Every structure is written in structure tokens, then in C-alpha cells.
Amino acid sequence: MLFDWAAQPFFTVVTTFVFGPYFVARLTEDPVAAQAMWSNMATVSSIVIALLSPVLGAIADQSGPRKPWIACFAVVKIASLAMLWFAAPGSALVWPVTFMILASIAAEFSIVFNDSMMPRLVPASEVGRVSNTAWGLGYLGGMVVLIFVVGFLAADPKTGVTILGMAPLFGLDPALGEDARITGPLAAGWYLLFILPMFFFTPDAKRGEPMKKAVLSGVRELSATLSELVTRRKTILRFLIARMLYQDGVNGLLILGGAFAAGMFGWATLEIGLFGILINVVAIFSCLAAGHLDRLSGSKTVVILSLVLLLIATLGIISTAPGYILFGLVPLSPVDTGGVFATSAEKVYLLFGALIGMAFGPVQASSRSYLSRSVHPDEAGRYFGIYALSGRATSFMATLSFSLVTYASGSARLGMAMLILFLLAGLVLLIGTRYPAVERPEER
């Protein structure tokens, strides 16, 4: 569980709510081009993750221990995040994009190995509860870091003080984006500190084959697993395809949602941070509730309900603009009342953000428990590698669709609308998929 606590601040304060919006709104003077560049970063990362995750998972099953892999990727992630400090306004975009790609790849590969440990550690009856609780603990960790950033580091560039009315700690200058740039080193240090309990106290798999032999065996095992999915385990294949589609939409919301708000409303680090705190508070309690619902009604029920909420939220987000909601059917007062979230449209956007907070944790945690209940511990590495593939194989399509539509139309709103297609397609396919995804004897 502490692995999720350690890993989440990268996604919360760097990718989604602070550094990502800073990259879009303040690193350059062209927010539309910056949004597309940020989307391209996610596309490249997703392609690499999709290609290599199944291979690494299969190798892990043959070599045995997962911790050495997690340690290697931790070094890459921590070093890359530390380098984000140098992404000052006006600097070339290529370097922060490169370090974000490396950090994203290392983070996702670490998750593959962490997730594949779970079937050995947790009884099948408790997988859903533990997975959702861990995910909620991750959001709590992300929120703690986000609150620290908003309260003590992020200042209004005009006044130079934080929301608590104090000067930023460490003498950070918001005019130079230092309050956003510090999130890279901060997330790196948090990750380094809190992954240590997993290394010290969590049992690992026994050592298997030597690495060279494990690589060859792993590649062969992966090929056999893919063949097995097509011929004998079609229910798991159907689930993985459904998850591939709806996870594309989820990834798109996580990567682009904060940047979209920053571009539309001109939100700075303070507003984005408060928005992120709202979402994370809702996410923590929704994950705890979803853990109990998962145990009572199953992972499939949780995933379906979450997808419905995400569809409503995404439709609401793209239909909202300064002055109206629902594509203009409902006008809103454009008057700026002062302070944060000063317009009616911004307040409505917060409500849709709360819906995302209710859904995007449980949809991922219960998807993880869905698969964990469907495979044997000895095959968890290769199947969670393919699971990572299903979450990333076409995730570049969501961000690529956003980029292409945004470039062609000049409207990030139309780009965000593409996410609805992925969420809806995954939901439709999942509804017809048996749970758990275990073949009946007569179907083998």
C-alpha cells in the first residue's frame, strides 16, 4: 500500500495539477501548441510502455524477484524528476519533455512489477478491498504533497504570497515558475523516502532463472501467453480490450484535464492546486467506499459505475465555457466576483471535477482487482505486463487524437471530446464481459 502512497505525488503534482498546467500556461506564450506538445509527450511515453511492459512482466515471472526491477526504474524516475527544476519560462521545451517521458516510463514499469506482487500477498477475497484502499492511500499521499505545494510554495505572481498569506518557503519566486518547477524534485524525494518500506518489509518472489535465460524464457512465455489469450482465455482477452479502450479515456483525462482548465480559465498554480485538492479529497473517500462495494458486488460493478460517472463528467467539461454550460443551452453569469474560481463557469467546472474524483480511482483499482481475481499468482507477472499493455497499447490514440483535432481545429475543447469515444467503447464492451474473467471448463 505504501508503494501507491509513494508513487502518486508524481501523477498528482507533476503530471496533472501543477507542473503540467505550468508547462501549458506559463512555460511558453502559445498554450494551444504547449497542450499539443504535452499530449505528444504522453503519446511517446505510452508507445514505449505498451511495447515493453508485457516483455518485462514475462521476464519477471521467469527471473523471480520484482524489487530489483523497481529499484532500477526508481533511479531513472528520481533523476528525471529532479531535472524538471531547470524548466524555467522561456527555456526550450525539448528537455522537460524528455525528462517527463523518462519519468513516466519508469513510473509505469515500476507499477507493473508492484501490481504483479499482489496475488502472492493478498487472498483473492480481499484483493478488491486492498487494491482500492491502496489507491485511496495513494491519493491521500498525492493530496498531502499538493496541499503543501498550494499552502507553502505556490504564490500568486501578482502578490507574491501563498493562499496562507505568507511568502513561499525556500525563497521560491512564482514569477520564474519556481513554485511549479520545485514539484519535480519534491515528488522525487517523496518517492525515494516512501518506497523504502516496500523494499524492507514486503516479501518478494524467490529467485528463478539467471537473467540471460530469464529474458529468453520470458519472451517465449509472452508469445505463448498471447497465443493462449486468443485460443483459450478469450474472456480475459475481452476484458483486456475493454480496459484498453476505457483506460485510454481515463489516461487522457488525467494527463490533459488540468492543462485544459489552465488553458480555458487561465488558472495558475494556486487554482490548479486547489482543484486538485478537491478531486483528491473526493477520490480518497470514493476509493474506500468502492473497496467495500467491490467486495460485496464485484469489481465489474465498480468499473461500470465509474465509467458512467466519467462519461457524465467529460461531457460536462467540454460543454462548459466562460458564460455558459451544456454547449450554451444554459447561460451562466460571466461576472468575475474576485478571488479564486471567481466565475460561475469555474464553479461548475469544480462540480464536474468532483465527479472525476469519485470515479477515476475506483475504475483503476477495481480493474486491477478484476484481473488479479482472474489469474494464478505464478502467471501474474506476464498477465499484469499485458494488463499494462492494455492500458497503454492505444493510449497514444487518445492523446494523439487530442493533438490532431486540436491542431486541425485550433480548439482544445474538440480535442477533449475525443475522450468520450474511448470511454464509451470500453464501457459497452465491458458490459458483455463475464466476471471474473475465468474460462468455463467447456470453453477451454
pLDDT digits (tens, 9 = 90+) for 106-154: 998 898 888 878 777 877 777 777 877 887 888 889 889 988 988 888 7
- The distance of Cα 84 from the centroid of its chain, to the nearest Å, equals 19
Overall average pLDDT of the 74-101 stretch: 90
Name which of 135-139, 252-256, 389-393 the model is least confident about.
389-393
Say which range, 192-206, 318-332, 379-393, has the weakest mean pLDDT: 379-393
Radius of gyration of the chain from its Cα atoms, rounded to whole angstroms: 21
Q: Give pLDDT tens digits for 332-356.
A: 777 666 666 767 778 888 888 888 8
Average pLDDT, the chain: 81
The domain total for the chain is 1
Q: Rounded to whole angstroms, how far apart are CA atoms 243 and 238?
A: 9
Domain containing 327 — which CATH number? Answer: 1.20.1250.20
Crossing angle of helices 94-121/31-63, nearest 10°? 40
pLDDT in tens, 226-238: 787 777 888 888 8
Confidence check: pLDDT of 103 > 50? yes
In eight-state DSSP terms, residue 171 is: G
pLDDT tens digits, one per residue of 423-444? 999 999 999 888 766 554 444 4
Give yes or no for residue 391 having a pLDDT over 70: no
What is the average per-residue pLDDT within 36-42? 80
What is 282-308 written as a DSSP string?
A: HHHHHHHHHHHHHHHH-HHHHHHHHHH
3-state DSSP helix/strand/coil % of the chain, to nearest 5 = 80, 0, 20
What average pLDDT does range 53-75 have in this prediction? 80
Which domain, by its residues, includes 82? 2-443
